Each structure stands twice: as C-alpha cells, then as structure tokens.
C-alpha cells in the first residue's frame, strides 16, 4: 500500500517498492523485537512508561535504520531525498503507533498467559498439600493398630464386656491425643509418657502376656520437653520389631536421663540377630524419625542404634529449645 | 467332623473366630496357634480341612507359612489392613475377612468354603501364593524348611540359585537349601538390581561376584567370593554387565 501511495506521488515503481519493502521489513523486525522483549520481561503494574520508552527507542532506531539504508539503496533523482526528509515525522509517527500497539498487545497476551500458568501452579501446589495432609492423617490414624484394636474390642464384647468398655475408653483417649497433637508442638516428657501409657495399655490387651514394658525414668528428666509424635513412633517401632521378630515374650525398656543438658531417651527391644540385619543404615524403619530429627535440629547424630546380643537399643538425644 | 486350626498372634482375635464357630456343630477347632512355626507343626500333625490365617505374625508371615506346607488345607485369611494382601486376594482368594468382621460376613465365608469343597480346586491357593509372594517382605528373605526346622535366609546371605528339577537350590554360606518354586518366581520376587538371571538355570547375587572370566566361546563364568563358579550365558552376560554398571 505504501508503494502504491509513493508511486502515486510521482516516484518510479522500483524506488517506491524498495522504499516500502525496506521500511516495512525493518518495522516488522522492530515489532518482533518488542514482542520478544516483553515475553521475557513483563513490566510491573503502573510501570507502563517502560513500554512507552521501549516503543520510542525502537521507533527511533527504526528511523535511523531507514535514514541510512534508503539513500544507500535508492539513487537520488532529486525529488526523492527531498521527499524523504519531509516524511520523517510521518514515518516516525506511524512506526511509533505500530510498535506501541504491538507492545500493548504483547503485554496483554503475556499477562494473560502468565495468569493462566500461575493459576495452574497454584492448583498443583494445593493438590500436593492436600495429598500430604491426607497421608499424614492416615499415618496418624495407624490403620493397622486401629483395626486390630477394634477387632480385640469386638472379641471382648461377648466374653468380657467390662474390659471391652475399658478398652473403648483407652482407644478414644489415645485417638483424641493423636488428633490434638501437632507436629511442631513441644510437650513435656511427663505428658508424653502418660499418652504413651495409653498406647501401651491397648497393645497389652491385644498381645496379652507376650508384651511387657519397663520404665526407668529419671525424675529430673520429666519436665524436659520433646517434640510431639516422636516418642510414640519410637516405641511403636520397638514393639513391632520385638513382637514380629521373635516368637517369645517381648520386654520393651524405656529409659530417660539427662546428659550434658540434653534429654536422652532410650528404647530397647529384643530382636533376632540371625535373621534381622539392623546393620543396614539405621534400619528397623527408623528413617522417618531420623528425618524428623534432622528437620528439627539440622543434626544427623541425634539418633543412634546399637545391637548387642539379642537386644536392639535405640537412643535419641533431644536438645532443649 | 471337620477339623479347623486358627493361626493368629493375638489371642483375642483367635477367640473371636472360636466364638463365631460355635454355631457350627460339624466343625471342631483342633488347635490354636500364635505363630507360623506352630502353625506348620499343627497342620502337619492334624491335617485340618480349613485354617483361619492371619498375615502379619511373628517371624514368618501367613504367606510364608503356607509356602512351607505341602498338603495345603483350605485357607480363609483374617487380616486388619494389608494393601498388598488385599491386592492379591482380589484376584485369587478363597476368601478373606477384614478385621473386625461381623458374624454375617464370617458365615458367608464359611458357606463359600463349603460350596467350594463340593467342587475342590487347589489352583486358587497356589495362584494366591504366587501373587502374594511379591509383597515386600518376600523380597528381603527366603523361608525354607530344613527337615523339621524352619530357616529364614536373608537375601544378602544368598550366593546363587540353581534350578534342580521341580526345586530351586538356594546356595548360602551355610550350604544349600531346597525350595519348591520356579526360577522365574525368584527372578520376579527378588530385587533385580541384586539378583541377575545369568543363565537359564542360575540366578546370581551380584554382590558376591569377585570376577567374571571368559569360558569357551560366547560363554562366561562368574567367580564368587567363596570360589563357587556360576555359568553365565551370552544374554546373561549382557544383563550382568548392566547390573554391575559396566
């Protein structure tokens, strides 16, 4: 169209075509440049002066470009150079308008795209969070423990209803304690031990004489605080391996002392040295406890395990906050 | 009179089954067992018609116990929560009861057993065992019967496995043990990173290999720490190199 206008103004066709081709190709390049720049750098809201400056700069650059290119490509026939110098303002105006429009469209388009992407990211993050929460809940409820306990209650109801009632009470108290506890909470050892006792009472109903526990708690250690949901999984682990790794009676020893200002908890359970391989890492499913201790204190040395004879000992040191 | 054995490590769980069985005068509980070892002994002694079997039990689990019995009785599993087991059951179970179960559900399982007894088939139990043997515990250890004794072999103690007719010879530091299984069963159940089928008749523990020597054309031979020599076929050599990261 530019060529048609130019030839209408009395310039020869080759002159008109070269002029319009060069200016339009350069203008298209400027538009691509602005669009690309904005793809990687979207201005913050209310900083639209950036777009204006960018458009001005690009249009200016474009103008300089054709100012040097056109005289090189087109031989002067007198009128043409005069026409060129007269048309700079018009050309600059048109270029600014086009580049400016391109910039606005790009900003709108990329903002829209970014919003879509961030909405998607948000939905993904939300889903992950929900999955993690569900997983945690499921872990807290310990389905295996819960269903086996309910089965024991079911059996007691017929034969010994009084005991069934007592066990329902204990199980309720234990579950209430589980729901009340948050992972980041710190609780006095004394209170955690009472909660642990509920758990042990239920397990003793399930396993009868096979399971017994010995507590050796130093009175000075009782007011010390420990992170919630730490002691019970530790003991649960000991019971699980004590009961499932040996066929005889299982004695679980739980001790607490204070050493160098640190609270030291020790849990002992019997195990079979021949068939188990506690040498592999911390083994015995203690990895999640190790991980929690690391997250809390950034230390890898707080959980230690030791196997002597047929006794497996787990020791946890807890720094005080 | 039909003979029944209940195997569960929780006394109350056993008493629940006994109580539900009271309405069946034709069925008699001949023994209650609290672990798999007792279970094996009791089953050999009494040859029961039906057993109620828990899965998570001390030392060896319910599946491992069943593997040790040659004349398998009908089995009704009783379990609290076992994702793997449930998956196995879905396709092959005679029946399984999820604890705590009701009298109605219990009766239904027994009816199913009685119906199946009229048209007996040993297939389901065998298939169930195949499927269940892919549970995590079974990739960590192998349970075998050694005369009257039951031996639990941690997989790290296994040097190599060798096919021997209907059995598989499991070579360990304490000599070899036989198990009535196929090579492909072990190939599936054991960790493929550690146990490689080096030959049609051999599966080798790669951690035991000290070196691999050429042997005749296309074939190799793996020398283990103990000095044992395990044949390696052409395809086995490729798999071994992969597992060893060569």
Classify each residue of A290-315 as buried b or exposed e, where b means 16 or more C-beta atoms within 10 Å of its C-beta. bebbeebeeeeebbebebeeeebbbb
Q: How confident is the model at residue A280, as a pLDDT?
A: 43
Q: How many domains does chain B have?
A: 2
Contact with chain A for residue B12, Cβ under 8 A: yes
Domain extent listing, chain A? 2-138, 210-318
Do B110 and B49 lie in a common domain?
yes
Residues of chain A found within 8 Å of residue B16, distances taken between Cβ atoms? 151, 154-155
Q: CA of A197, closest CA in chain B: separation in Å?
A: 20
Out of B132, B158, B173, a domain closes at B132
Give the C-alpha separation, B121 to A172, whole Å. 45
Q: Say yes or no: B171 and B96 in one domain.
A: no
Q: Select from A154, A210, A246 the Cβ nearest to the Cβ of B100.
A: A154
Which class does domain A210-318 fall in?
alpha beta
Instruction: Give pLDDT tens digits for A151-197.
Output: 999 999 988 999 999 999 999 999 888 888 776 678 999 999 999 99
User: Is residue A309 predicted with pLDDT exceeding 60?
Assistant: yes
pTM assigned to the model: 0.67
**Mean pLDDT across A192-206:** 92
**B49, B118: one domain:** yes
Q: Range of B121's domain?
A: 2-132
Geometric angle at alpha carbon B238, from B236 and B241, rounded to 5°? 105
Nearest to B62 by CA among B41, B36, B86: B36
Interface of B with A in 13-32 (CB under 8 A): 13, 15-16, 19
- Residue A155 forms contact with B (CB below 8 Å): yes
What digits encode the pLDDT tens for the residues A15-68?
777 878 888 888 888 888 888 887 777 776 666 777 788 888 888 888 888 878
CB A265 within 8 A of CB A255: yes
CATH number of the domain within which B9 lies: 3.40.50.2300
B167 plus B55 within the same structural domain: no
pLDDT for A210-230, tens place per residue?
899 999 999 999 999 998 878
Tell me which of A275, A280, A284, A285 to substitute to probe the interface with B (most B C-beta atoms closer than 10 Å): A275
Token output for B216: 């005749």
Q: How far apart are CA A164 and CA A175, in angstroms?
A: 16
Tens-of-pLDDT digits for all 246 residues of chain B?
A: 899 999 999 999 999 999 999 989 999 999 999 999 999 999 999 999 999 999 888 888 888 888 888 888 888 888 886 666 665 565 455 788 889 999 999 999 999 888 887 765 555 566 666 666 666 666 778 888 887 788 888 888 899 999 988 889 999 988 899 888 888 888 888 888 889 999 999 999 999 999 888 888 888 999 999 989 999 999 899 888 888 887
Q: Which residues of A130-151 are buried (b: 16+ CB within 10 A; e: fewer)?
A: eeeeeeeeeeeebeebbbbbbb
Q: Within chain A, what is the greatest distance between any pair of CA atoms? A: 119
Q: What is the pLDDT of residue A279?
A: 42
A77, pLDDT greater than 90: no
Cβ contact (<8 Å) for B100 and A159? Answer: no
Q: Are B146 and B102 found together in one domain?
A: no
Q: How far apart are CA A290 and CA A292, in angstroms?
A: 6
- Give the mean pLDDT of A247-274: 89
Helix axis angle for A161-180 and A79-141, nearest 10°, is 150
Residues B206 and B223: their CA atoms lie apart, in Å, by: 10
**Distance between B10 CA and the closest CA of chain A, angstroms:** 5
Over range A243-257, report the average pLDDT: 88
Compute the 3-state secondary structure of chain A and give helix, strand, coil in percent, each to the nearest 5. 65, 15, 20
Structural contact between residues A96 and A25, judged by C-beta atoms closer than 8 angstroms: no
Question: Is A78 near chain B, with CB under 8 Å?
Answer: no
Could you say which of B114, B132, B150 is where a domain stops? B132
Whose tokens are 């209170």? That residue is A191
Backbone φ/ψ region at B49: left (φ over 0), alpha (ψ -120 to 50), beta: alpha
């Amino acid at each position: 169209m530019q060529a048609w206008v130019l030839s209408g103004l009395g310039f020869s066709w080759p002159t008109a075509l070269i002029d319009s081709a060069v200016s339009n190709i350069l203008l298209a390049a400027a538009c691509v440049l602005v669009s690309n720049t904005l793809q990687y750098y979207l201005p913050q809201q209310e900083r639209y002066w950036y777009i204006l400056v960018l458009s001005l700069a690009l249009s200016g650059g474009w103008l300089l470009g054709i100012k040097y290119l056109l005289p090189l490509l087109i031989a002067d026939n007198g009128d043409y150079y005069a026409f060129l110098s007269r048309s700079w303002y018009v050309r600059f105006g048109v270029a600014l308008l086009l580049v400016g429009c391109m910039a606005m469209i790009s900003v709108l388009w990329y903002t829209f795209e970014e919003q879509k992407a961030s909405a998607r990211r948000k939905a993904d993050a939300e889903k992950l969070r929900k999955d993690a929460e569900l997983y945690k809940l499921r872990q807290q409820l310990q389905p295996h423990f819960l269903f086996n306990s309910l089965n024991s209650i079911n059996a007691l109801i017929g034969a010994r209803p009084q005991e069934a009632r007592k066990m329902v009470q204990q199980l309720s108290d234990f579950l209430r304690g589980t729901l009340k506890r948050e992972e980041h909470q710190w609780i006095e050892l004394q209170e955690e031990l009472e909660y642990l006792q509920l758990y042990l009472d239920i397990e003793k109903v399930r396993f009868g004489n096979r399971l017994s526990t010995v507590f050796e708690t130093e009175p000075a250690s009782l007011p010390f605080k420990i992170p919630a949901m730490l002691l019970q999984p530790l003991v649960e682990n000991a019971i699980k391996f004590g009961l499932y790794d040996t066929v005889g009676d299982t004695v679980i020893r739980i001790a607490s002392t204070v050493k160098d200002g640190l609270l030291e908890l020790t849990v002992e359970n019997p195990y079979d040295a021949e068939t188990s391989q506690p040498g592999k890492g911390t083994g015995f499913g203690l990895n999640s406890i190790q991980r929690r201790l690391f997250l809390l204190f950034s230390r890898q040395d707080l959980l230690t395990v030791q196997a002597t004879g047929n006794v497996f000992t787990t020791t946890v040191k807890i720094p005080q906050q | 009179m039909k003979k029944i054995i209940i195997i569960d490590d929780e006394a109350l769980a056993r008493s629940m089954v006994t109580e539900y069985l009271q309405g069946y005068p034709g069925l008699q509980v001949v023994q209650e067992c609290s672990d798999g070892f007792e279970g094996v002994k009791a089953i050999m002694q009494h040859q029961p018609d039906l057993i109620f079997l828990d899965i998570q039990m001390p030392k060896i689990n319910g599946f491992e116990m069943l593997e040790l019995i040659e004349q398998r009785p009908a089995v009704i599993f009783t379990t609290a929560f076992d994702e793997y087991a449930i998956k196995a059951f879905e396709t092959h179970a005679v029946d399984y009861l999820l604890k705590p179960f009701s009298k109605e559900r219990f009766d239904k399982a027994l009816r199913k057993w009685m119906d199946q007894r009229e048209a007996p088939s040993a297939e389901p139990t065998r298939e169930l065992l195949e499927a269940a043997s892919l549970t995590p515990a079974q990739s960590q250890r192998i349970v075998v019967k050694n005369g009257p004794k039951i031996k639990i072999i941690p997989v790290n103690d296994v040097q190599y496995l060798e096919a021997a007719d209907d059995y598989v010879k499991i070579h360990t530091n304490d000599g070899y043990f036989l198990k009535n299984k196929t090579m492909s069963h072990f190939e599936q159940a054991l960790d493929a990173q550690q146990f490689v089928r080096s030959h049609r008749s051999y599966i080798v523990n790669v951690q035991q290999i000290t070196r691999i020597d050429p042997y005749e054309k296309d074939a190799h031979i793996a020398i283990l720490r103990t000095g044992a020599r395990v044949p390696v076929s052409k395809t086995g050599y490729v798999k071994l190199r992969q597992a060893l990261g060569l």
